[in-house]
Amino acid sequence: MGELRAKTVLTVTDIFKSYDVRGLFPAEINEEIAYKIGRCFVALLNARTIAVGRDMRMSGVQLASAFISGATDSGADVVDIGMVSTDALYFAVGHYQYDGGVMITASHNPGQYNGMKFTGAEAAAISLETGLGTIRDQIESNTLPAKSSAKGNVVEKFVLKDFANHCLKFIDPKSIKPLKIAIDAGNGMAGMIVPQVFQELPCEIIPLYFEPDGNFPNHPANPLEPENMLALQDAVIKHKCDFGVAFDGDADRMFLVDEKANLIGGDIVTALVSINTLRRNSAAKILYNLICSRSVPEAIEKHGGIARRSPVGHSLIKKIMRDEDICFGGEHSGHFYFKDNWYADSGIIALLQCLEVFSESDKAVSQVLAPLNGRCRSGEINSKVADARAKLQEIEASFQDAEIDHLDGLTISYANWWANIRLSNTEPLLRLNVEGDNDDLMKSGRDRILELIRR
């Protein structure tokens, strides 16, 4: 028993990340830990009613059951909303006014992983600094809150119809044209969400891998990796689609390809949704993270909005948006946040916003996006380093003629190119993103910085 306890202590430290819990099942995250998290989560929020959802992963039923047992032992009533997307969990907490919620998911990670995302009332994100650290410490020290004298109840609730109706409120459904769209669900939760939403719209859907399957038999549900977009790109060309869409495993992130099967970055989608948002909310504040293209703040300001630059990270972004009453926010990584969605992110709402823009134009999708997509970006390049902070200082010293800021890591800015270098939250890595007004400028800056990082 002592060996088991020692192992649990080690893995608890490892699985608590900055914004969620995540690890290998059952070696790092298992029913025992899920039960303890349930006990501590309810005590943290002093919750009376919470929602619990899960994605299609094979271990989801076991972890959800264990978490629910811990939560009810702490006296909370649990609304089990079953297999849903993460943004549907956020919706359930906000719409039905629960005290909090937990989504059992490992997002885009391979099938042998699982984890949890946490929210308080009104879908407010809970991070390591705002509660997860407390839960971790309680489990590590084996000082769980006392059980309640009255065990909570469990009820099941189907939320997807209400969620679909909520999402459709972000557009004018009558404006949508009968476009042909290839959608790759990656055997993830979009396979359940997309049919609920699109049954009300005139579009023709070419479905790829809509059957939820936690083994991911076709490809990993991680659209950030270009190889996982190949099937979608092929389908767009084969079926002569107007555009294509890919979702990650828990369907809170969304990625586009145009009618020529070109990959469209999350920052360009951010610019597009910003423009659509400003049509309904003139002079609104729009947030973008500092990895986004310079084209994003340019588009926001050109269309009468106020651009707000932020660090990377969903819990930071959600807090900034709440504090500053920001209407919409987007990240290069495919997360899109909406004030009228309790400041939470939603892939399907972002898709509907893009669909509305494409429907209102007589141009092809690539032509609609062209004015926003003129610069060249490196994508994120990760490098292992022995001393990340010392390396950042070395890089900064090599660019004394640049404009420098430290909002998130180190950003080096020139008139025609810029670069950001950030520390990983979980690994001894530096993450590099570079953008240039043309390909030569981007590659020159990229190569110069990589030489400093890797020498």
How many Cα atoms occupy the beta-carbon half-sphere of 407 within 13 Å?
20
| Residues 30/70, Cβ–Cβ less than 8 Å | no
Task: Centre a 10 Å sphere on the Cβ of residue 225 and count the other Cβ atoms it contains.
Answer: 10
Concerning whether 107 is annotated as a catalytic residue, the answer is: yes
**What is the Cα–Cα distance from 334 to 247, expressed in whole angstroms?**
9
CA distances for 334 relative to 166, 209, 268, 319, 337, angstroms: 20, 20, 10, 18, 10
Residues 248, 333: Cα–Cα separation, whole Å? 11
Catalytic residue (choose from 59, 85, 107, 295): 107
Which region holds residue 53: left if phi is over 0, alpha if psi is between -120 and 50, else beta?
beta
Q: What would the two tokens of residue 366 be?
A: 């690539």
For 216: left if phi > 0, alpha if psi spans -120 to 50, otherwise beta; the answer is left
Positions annotated as catalytic residues are 107
